[in-house]
Structure 1
Amino acid sequence: MATIPNRESSSEFTVPEVVKEKIAAVVQRTWGARLLSGAILSIAAALVILLAAIVIDWAFVLFDPGQRAMVTYSAGLLMGLIGVGLIGFAGLRRLSPIETARQIDEQIPELQERWSSVSEFSTTNESEEYRGSEAMRLKVAEEAAALGGIVEPKQIRIGRELPIALGCLAGGVALWFFAFLIDARQTSILVRRFFAPSAAISLTQIKSENGDKIFPRGENLKLEASVSGRPRSDAILTINREDGTSESHPLELLSGDSPRFAFPLKNLQESFSYRFRSGDGETPWHTIKIAERPSFKRVDFRIVPPAYSKLKEFHQESLPKSVKALQGSKLLLTLESNVALKSLVLEGEDKVNQTPIAGEGNEYKLELELEDTWVFRPHMISEGGLTSEDATRCEIVVYRDQAPVVTIAAPTTDVAVRPDDTVTIAFDAKDDLGITRAELVVYDGSTN
């Protein structure tokens, strides 16, 4: 009749301390290596996911920050899930002492499976028929402890997980190396935009050449934008009018030394805001404010001659192209601009400039004594920076008051007369201002 082993019997057999410590050291080292492998694989996966995310951004030209944020958050979530999964799986795969002892026996044949045997002896509940006698187990334990000196935990191979993980990491790094090798600038921009999806970071940089400006009413303007970085062949110009309407104009890239876009606007009458967009880049909103060029709303031009000349005052309600003035006359000039001015200068062609004095409103006055001929052009700059378009040339020709000219008309030769004779003397007197009084001075023979 067969004997059934008693499986409920327990064993008080213990593993030698030296064997237990070295097995525990290998278990801990293996577990740490697996955790490290999981972390390295997580980093490698993150590198690949990040590269895939920026490739998606590059290929589909994600302009909307919301779309870029979705890619960033999705990639980050995937990185986190993979990282937790890999590290968690590695942490749960902890070797048992028996598995570790078998691994040590396989790598050190001199042990002749003694370490795995003593590990099994300490954990099994089989009867002595299956475990062997107590003396045999103690003998195996003594031999296992005696061979403990040839076991060095740091020299035990702990599996291929770590080399495989390092290989995967090297592959991920190689992919990034080639990405930077192909185009370091675009790659770095895409990486920065991945981590800051709402920031103004773009592969295509587009800049308005006009910017914000004040522009004269009724004139033509060409809106231009220059492109750098990753130029695109097309762009959109969006214009918002003051009445709330909006319009979009597709633009094509112009050939030349530098890529640019342009759009002409004619006869501008109202202010507007505009923005260029090309690829994933756009300009900020700029404003073109329409204003009037400075011009004269009123002109009062007066030349007041000296009182002695009895000449009439010259008056004109515009700047004369040319006018004569007696030396010593006064120029009284009043100018009123249609807009507020930053400056008003009467620029002389002889480099002698005059600056009228500002009065009430947009009125300016100048009082000047005329000594020499003066040719000038008014130059106005509005507070918005617009200049006067038509600088009328005004010439004031200053002439001198010439001395009177007197000539004897008769007699024209010397004559001899008696003391009681009457002599008629005729003479001509001329002056540029006219003769009001003439005197004849007679010298008798007694006067030297």
Structure 2
Amino acid sequence: MENCALLPSMSAMPSTADTPAPVSRPLALDDAREILARIRQLRGRHGRVVLGTGLAMMITALGAWLVSETVVDFLANLPWVVRLIFLVIGVGGAVALLVWFGIRPWRQRLGDEAVALLIERALPAFRSRFIAAVQLSKNPDEGASPALVKALVAETTAMAGTMDFSAVIDQRLLSRWWKLAFCTLLVVGGLAALGDSKTWPLVQRALLARTPVPRKTLIREISAPQVIAVGDSWRVAAIAGGIVPQGGRVTLKTASGRKQEFDLPLESNPPPTFARTLQSMQESFEYRVTLGDAETDPVKVKVKARPGVSSVECQQIFPVYTRLPARRRALGDLKILAGSRLALKVRASGAMKSGEIRVVGADREKIVKASPLTIDAKDHAQLTGEIEVPAKDVAGLTLHLVDEDGVESRGAAIYPIELLADEVPTIKVTWPDRREELLTREATMLIAFTAKDDYGVARVRLNYAVDWVEGAPHKTIDLDIGTALPKEISRRFNWRVGQITPRVEEGSVIDYWFEVLDANDVTGPGIGTTEHMQARIVSDAEKRADLANRLSDTMEGLNGVKHGQEDVNQQLGEIIFEKPAGK
């Protein structure tokens, strides 16, 4: 029987994919062990042959793909998508060849009968003895004489010892494919040597790198933004290597299909940099840079609207000391108490990457204070944040946004801020009513005052100094007013002058004054002060004389009031009883 290639013969004979091989069992006779060993040997050789053939096919296919793609890419500067298709077809096809012609038949291992059939076809001298010996030995209980089976196995074993089984597994296909793979590797190596420094960049491009096609002129680096805002200028710069041309060009193709070409002049050297700035870009486009014989792949540039604010909700959070609840404010009416915080809830025009609240001064470009906005994890167009309004140098509030492409907002509205200062608390002494009082050394002086503040009085202090001069130190007594922080408070206080240490002597003058403090712990505290009043230390006699004089003054005042009342009564009577004129 004429020998034929392995793979075609495999398609014509039964396999495990067509007819399941019977489960192998030990041969019934010990004499069949040599036959079984021969079958195992040929089965292993068959597996190595099909794996080697599949590997050679894969190497050949990979070499053909690499050569064809690099050559075509060098000549035509293939786009990235086309190179991706080349890669998928080349590498995918090579792997498919390995799997289909190597791994798949290797995993579908030949059964004993299939190997015996190959032996019968390659060695006709057996005249069906080999396969009969295998089948009868595996099924000794199917009516055959044990002696006959034993004799057949012995005869077959004897014949096998004298025959050459090398031709059973056809290796001609394996040899042909490895010769082809070797030739492919020679071609790849020759082209790689011929390409010299151009080879590695072309291989990188075949593996989808964005390396430019190697030319006499090399484009070493391209610098240009890939996302800009509508109306912005766009600058492209390219650094050249190798043979540097006199100039280059940049070709644009807009989203609407319009093509434009611009010169790319040499801007600086070294390094040789070609650059151009295009003004007021209005729509997205893609561009190519050409320098000498080198050209880049098309690069897309996205032109989009700047991020903006769709809506803002604003709340004023008052300082804690005011004890006022948060209040919603309109952005056009930001009359803010110094030290307050503004809580903003911002709805942007699209998904944002970051945002910032900015407080600006009279110079709108000068940022007085800034605070970041927090982006909602589920909705990137929703931002929230707070900022404390400084106590001075504040003119307005604005928002700065950066979208997910890095485009920043510009020319945002500035909302005016009018700072409202916390008014200083006031205090008035209601007693004594004279600026100077006369006291004895052991006297107790009644003092009364009324203090007011718009958000609450926190402390009242009595300051005093004996024989005080400007700049001299003084002592302080904190008056007990409780902790309720009332907006208005009136108190009376008995000041025991006799307990002042060191004791005051006759002739001494005590200067005293009040201070009132509010609870402002942000920009304050605010402090209100009375004028200085005096208490002069006198003897008992002088004090009695003073009291007598004050009593005399009081009586005179009462007499004056009495006489004045009498005069009023008299005038009123005259008016009542006066006759009208002409009667």
TM-score, structure 1 normalization:
0.44
Greater relative contact order (Cα < 8 A, sep 6+): 1
